[in-house]
Amino acid sequence: MEPRRKTLKSASGATIAIANKTKIVNLSTKRRQEVYQRWCEFTDLNFIEPNVFHLTSFLASQYETKHWKISMVFAYQFSIFALFTTDQSHQIRNHPHFQDFQKGLRQGIVLPHKSYEYDLQPALNYIISLGDNKDMTIELLTAKLAWLLAMVGFLRPSDLERIDLTQCSISSDDILLLVIVAPKEKRCGIRITKTIAIHPHSDQLVCPVTTYKVYCSCVASTLVSVPHPVFPQVSLVPLLRYVNHHDQSLSSQRISKYINQIMKFVGRPPGAPLPKARALGATLAAQAGVSVENLVVQGNWSSRKMFEQFYRISVQTKENFTSSTLDTQPRSPTRMCNVQ
C-alpha cells in the first residue's frame, strides 16, 4: 500500500511533498529535508527528484566538509528517503552506486563522485541542422539561445530568468555582456548583480551572440518590465519570453525544459544522468585547458573548491602524461625535484 502524501512548507516558502508512513512529521526530519533542499537549490538540482547520484553527492559532501559522523549521514539519508515514495526509495537502495557508497561509508571511506565523459558533438550537430536562426521557429530559437548561453556562460535557468535587457550590451568587437540581477549567489550575505561576458563564435550557426541578436529582434524587441522572480519590488526587462506572449517572461522551470530539449542530444555513457549546462560547460572548458581560476570567475563560484567538488563532472584531462614523463625532450632546469 502506497503511503499517503503530505505537504509541508519549508522555511524558504517552497513546498515539500513528503511520503509519510506516519501522520506526524518529526521536526528533525523536516529540518534535514530543508538542508537537503537548500543544497539542491544552490547546486541547481531538483530536490524532489529521486536521483541516487544527487543523494550520494549531498551525503558525501556533507560527510567530508562538515565532518559528519556516520550516524548523522544515516539520519539524513532516512529523512531524505521520506521525500520519495516507497518504490522510489527501494530503487535507490538497490542501486549499485548507492550500495557501493554505503559499503565505503561503513569502511570509513567515502567514494568520490562518479566521473562521466560527455560528447558535445551530437548536440552541436543538431543545432547546425536547424539552419539559420531567422528560419527557425520561435520555440527552437528559444531553446537554442537558452542552451548556448547556459553552456558558455555557466548559467543556471534562474540566472537566465533574471537577465535585465536594459543593462545588457554588445561591444564593438561583438562581445555580449549579460547583466543578471540578484542571482542565487551572495557576497558577504549581500545580493549582487553579476555580469557575464559571452564571446562570439566563428561558426554563425552555433554563435551565441548571433543567436542573441536574432532573438532580440524577433521576440524580445519590446521593453516590457516585469517584477523580479524573488524580489517583486525590483523590476527588469526579461530576455526570454513565451512563444505566443512576448510580453511575458519565461519562468526558470520553463527555461530548464528548453535547455533540456538540446541537452538530450549530448552523448553520454549508459547510466549517466542528463548533465546540467552550468556543470558541463565548465567541465568541457577545463578539459580544453582553461584555468580553474578563470572558470571560477566566469561561473561566479565562491571558491575553486566549490567548483571542483560540486560542478566538475570529470577530473580526467586530455594531457598525455606518459609521453610528457618518459619521452626525451628539453626540460626547464628551474623545474627540479630530488628523489631520494
- Looking at residue 11, its pLDDT comes to 39
pTM attached to this predicted model:
0.64
pLDDT in tens, 32-70: 999 999 888 877 788 888 888 889 888 988 887 788 888
Q: How confident is residue 27, by pLDDT bands cut at 50, 70 and 90? A: confident
Residue 14 has pLDDT above 50, yes or no: no
Per residue, what are the HEC states of 218-273? HCCCCCCCEECCCCCCCEECCCCECCCCCCCECCHHHHHHHHHHHHCCCECCCCCC
pLDDT in tens, 151-191: 999 999 999 999 999 999 999 999 999 999 999 887 777 88
Q: What pLDDT is recorded for position 302? A: 66
Q: Distance of alpha carbon 168 from its chain centroid, rounded?
A: 23
d(CA 282, CA 155) in angstroms, rounded, equals 10
CA-angle at 111, arms to 313 and 290, nearest 5°:
25
In the numeric block, the cell 538542508 is attached to 35
326 pLDDT band (50/70/90 cuts)? Answer: low
Beta partners for 267?
119
Euclidean distance between CA atoms 316 and 112, whole angstroms = 13
pLDDT, residue 283, reads: 85
- Chain CA centroid to CA 166, Å: 26
What is the identity of the amino acid at 266? V
Pairing of strands 15-19, 5-9: antiparallel
Extract the C-alpha cell encoding 84.
Answer: 520519495
Nearest-angstrom CA–CA distance, 64 and 91? 25
Q: How many residues does the chain have?
A: 340
- For residue 122, report the phi and psi dihedrals to the nearest 5 degrees: -60, -35
In three-state form (DSSP H/G/I as H, E/B as E, the rest C), the secondary structure along 154-181 is CCCHHHHHCECHHHCEECCCCCEEEEEE
**Whether the Cβ atoms of residue 143 and residue 215 lie closer than 8 Å to each other:** no
| Range name among 88-102, 154-168, 203-217 with the lowest pLDDT average | 88-102
Mean pLDDT of the chain: 81
Q: Quick check: 320 pLDDT over 70?
A: no
Is the pLDDT at 22 greater than 70, yes or no?
no
pLDDT above 70 as % of the chain? 79
Q: Which residues are CB-contacts of 123 (< 8 A; sequence separation ≥ 6)?
A: 147, 262, 263, 265, 266
- Give the CA distances from residue 283 to residues 19, 35, 289, in Å, rounded to whole numbers and listed in that order: 36, 26, 10
Banded model confidence at residue 286, pLDDT cuts 50, 70, 90? confident
When pLDDT is averaged across residues 231-235 and rounded to a whole number, the result is 93
pLDDT of residue 336: 45
Domains (range + CATH), the chain: 5-106 (1.10.150), 121-275 (1.10.443)
Is residue 319 predicted with pLDDT exceeding 90?
no
